[in-house]
Structure formats: structure tokens, C-alpha cells
A and B are shown apart, each in its own frame.
Chain A
Amino acid sequence: MKNKKLLLVVLALAIVTSLTAGTLAIYTKTVTMTGQVEAKKFAFTADGNIENDAEAINLAPTESMDYLFVVTNLDGKTPAEVPLKYNVAIDFSKASDNMPGLTATLYEKKTANGEYEVVATGNSTITYNDATEANTAAQHDYKLTLTWSGTDNDGQTVAGTQKVTYEQGLNVTVAAEQAV
């Protein structure tokens, strides 16, 4: 019995001693690697103006006016490093409500021949989607043509006689986001 107790005490001492006496030396080596994390560039611009530097769209029946705008994925000359998808939202519903026959046509200049081609039409709103590639400079030229046509002579005459005017008659919004 005494021997067994003694044996347990010795074993406990051996464990405690091994835990507190430190570890054996071994080879170690640490290699420090430094680098950087950089956010990829996001660039998107849109700008435009009415033809002939007009400040407003003022139409009579049978007439048209153009709003020209450009969308790019550039910051200066540096293109975005991520692919973008963007949406062009055009709303002229307030004006078209009281200018019967008012329509809009969205054209995009195709780089192949440099001419504008119709990409969307509408009589109160237009929505159009397009995209740009990463690391490739892109400039998309658009022309929005508002035309007042139609056969409602009475309605158009009322609008002209009243000189209907809408301060926010045409809203063009371009929203871009990283394509994932």
C-alpha cells in the first residue's frame, strides 16, 4: 500500500517537473512576407447636353430635339479594373401626359460605322442596359431624340395655347455597378 502511494507521488512529481522544466530546443525559422492589398479601380462617368447648347427642350408639333450624352468607364484615361453593367433610365412621363404624341428614341453610336442606331424607344419612359469590360477603355455615345408628333391636333393645340411647361420634364439617370 505504501509502495503504491509512493509510486503515485513519484509519478506526479515527474509530470509536474516535466511541465515546468521547459521544452527541448528545436530548429525554428520564420519567414516574413510583405505585400499589399489594393482595391481594383472603379471608374464611371456620364455627361451630356442638349443640342446647340440649348438649356431646355422646347417643341412644337412635328419638331424634334436631341439630348446627347456619353457614358464611360474611365477616370481620366484610366479604365475601370472591374467589368461594369449600367442602366440608362429615361423618364418624360409628366411631359408626355399633357403633350400628346411626345415620344423618345434612344440611339447609340456604333463604333463600327460611327453612325447612331436605335436601341430603344418609348412614349413616357425608356430603360436600356449595357456593359463595359474590365481594363478596356470604353466610351458609349448616346443620342436621345424627343419628337412631338401624332395626330391629336386638338390636344396639341391646347398644349401650345397653354404653353405647358414641365421643369422636370425629362429625367435621365445612369446607374452603374460592378458586374459579378
Chain B
Amino acid sequence: MKRSIQILMLLLLVLTSLNAGTLAIYTSTVDLAVLQVSAKRFALDVNQGGQSEFDLKIAPGELVSYQFDVSNTNADGNVSEVDMDLLVEADFSNIRSTIPGVTVQLLLFGASGYEVVAQADEAGRLGYSKSRMFTSGEAAVQHFSITFYWDNGESARALLEGSRIILPLTLYVKGVQHAD
């Protein structure tokens, strides 16, 4: 009995010492920085007009074009905060193989008006890239035109004897943050 009382007293002593608090020490906390972190704005907008403008009809001897604008601003008018490279890519291989004699060119509006900057190769692939086409913080619009010219040659006349041909057309405009 006495032993159990002793153990109980000892336990009480330990608990009391633990609960009695710790010694005070100097402390200091400095909230050094609460800073805003944000992603730089990346904006690329392509004004591609209505769908009817991109549904092209062409006959031998004709030149048809489709115009589109590329800018480094978003719909709210905010300018991209990064330099941007621009790539324009298209695969016209089905057009080249189905409608022989079609020449496809990409033109960019510059100081002297529209100038050819790329032409589809024999396989029908067209590619154009321009490093730092857009500068960070400077709103700009680049005007492009893609033209299709169908040469009025023997192959075109032979094709005319066939039925009407409708081919899909896809153009990729890609903006890439410029990285050195």
C-alpha cells in the first residue's frame, strides 16, 4: 500500500514539473516578405475572319487568297509579356496530289506591301518561322496572306473533266515564347 502511494506521489511530481511551464527565452519572428508571384502574360491572337473566307474555290488560271492577322495581344487587349517566335505551318500534300499545278505561297505584309515569305514544297508542305516576331510589352499585329494559284496547264484541263473536288485545308499558327 505504501509503495503504491509512493509511486503515485512520484507520478504527481513528474506531471507537476512537466505542466509547470518552461523557462522563458528570448524569441523574435520577422515576417520578412509577403510577395506577389505571377506568371508573365502569354498572349497570341489570330484574327482568321469568318469560315466562308477560308472556304476557297479555285479554277485553273485563278489566284485566290486567304488573309489572317496575328497579334501578341489577347481579347482584352493585354499585351504578351514575353518575346515570341512565330511559326506558320500547313500540309497541302493532298491539294498538290489531287490538283496538280497549284502553287501555294505565304505572304507577310511589310514596308513594301505583301511579300512572299514561304512557299509550299513539291510535297505540299509549307513552313515559316520568325524568331522574335513579337517583342514583349509591345503590341503588334502581323498581316499574312496565303495564296493559291492554279496554273492553267494541260493537267488542269484534264482534271476539269472529272467531278467537283472538295479538299480540307488546315493551317497552324503557333506562337512560342522566345528562349535564348
Chain A contact residues, CB within 8 Å of chain B: 42, 44-48, 50, 55-63, 67, 69, 82, 84, 92, 94-95, 99, 102, 146, 148, 156-157, 159-178, 180
Contact = CB atoms under 8 A, between A and B. Distances in A.
Nearest to A57: B37
B35 A57 contact: yes
Given A45-B30, A173-B30, A60 B42 contact: yes
Contacts of B26: 42, 82, 84, 177-178
A69 B33 CA distance: 9
Contacts of A95: 37
A118 B33 CA distance: 20
Interface residues of B, number: 26
A82 B28 CA distance: 13
Given A82-B26, A157-B42, A177-B27, A165 B36 contact: yes
A60 B32 contact: no
Given A57-B37, A60-B39, A160-B41, 16 more contacts: A44-B28, A56-B36, A58-B37, A58-B39, A58-B81, A60-B177, A84-B26, A99-B37, A157-B42, A160-B39, A163-B39, A170-B36, A172-B35, A173-B30, A174-B29, A174-B32
B37 A163 contact: no
A169 B39 contact: no
A62 B179 contact: yes
Contacts of A82: 26
Nearest to B40: A60
Contact of B25 (A45, A92, A169, A180): A180
A48 B34 CA distance: 11
Contact of B35 (A60, A170, A173): A170
Contact of A170 (B33, B39, B40, B179): B33
Contacts, number: 127
Contact of A166 (B23, B25, B37, B82): B37
Contacts of A164: 38-39
B43 interface: yes
A56 B38 contact: yes
B28 A67 contact: no
Contacts of A59: 37-40
- For the complex of A and B, list the 7 residue pairs with the smallest distance between their C-beta atoms, beginning with the closest: A169-B37, A160-B42, A42-B26, A56-B36, A60-B40, A165-B38, A95-B37
B82 to A, nearest CB: 5
B38 A166 contact: yes
B29 A57 contact: no
A7 to B, nearest CB: 47
A63 B38 CA distance: 12
29 contacts: A48-B32, A56-B36, A56-B37, A58-B37, A58-B38, A59-B39, A60-B39, A60-B40, A62-B179, A102-B37, A146-B37, A156-B39, A159-B39, A160-B39, A160-B42, A161-B41, A163-B38, A163-B39, A163-B41, A165-B37, A165-B39, A169-B37, A170-B33, A171-B33, A171-B35, A174-B30, A175-B27, A175-B30, A176-B30
